[in-house]
Amino acid sequence: MMKVLLIIDVQNDFCPDGALPVEGGNEIVPVINSFIWKFNRVVATQDWHSADQISFASNHKGKKPFDEIDLNGYRQTLWPDHCVQGSSGADFHPDLNTILVDLIVRKGTSADVDSYSAFLENDRITKTGLDGYLTSIGASEVYLCGLATDFCVYYSAMDARTFGFKTAVIIDACRGIDVPAGNVARVIREMQNAGIRIIESGSL
């Protein structure tokens, strides 16, 4: 059984003192490090945005972070500028064990479309190539952890399931933004309803 760990966006800008901090985001790093060696392959994702990224509130006059806009037929949340390509904020958290990472997937690289999912950009058409990689190595099970539970982890997990992978989210190795309030609880229910297992790292 080829088991693959997906570490989603454990980057400086999503940790305390970052541009878009997830509360307790740094707390998951030692948890991830404690089990990373248990998997056949490890994939880590990075938001990797250009400064003119369409999801940045600063690129929309009169808009502020967490506003929503209609963008080419889908709803897009606007964010503070974060994870700009080549910046220290886009780097992995310095304590994250990246030695065992086999593949890095950079997403949201185009200025005109954001990407929450490790599999598909927000237009829900453009692939990152991750599904092809997982298929090519014979992956049967995908386990997710990282930031943030209610955005990039959620979308990545749902897409993993859609692409046919047996999927689990290691919930104590995730932290959420919870905007709007209750969002984390909502996405956990949706993932469970989609057949995604919600597990604790102690069960690995």
Catalytic sites, residue numbers: 9, 107, 152
Please state the φ and ψ torsions of residue 54, each to the nearest 5 degrees.
-70, -20
CB 50 within 8 A of CB 85: yes
Q: DSSP letter for 124, please.
A: S
> Is the preceding omega at residue 148 within 30 degrees of 0, hence cis?
yes
Assign 173 to helix, strand or coil: strand
Helix (H) or strand (E) holding 158: helix 154-162
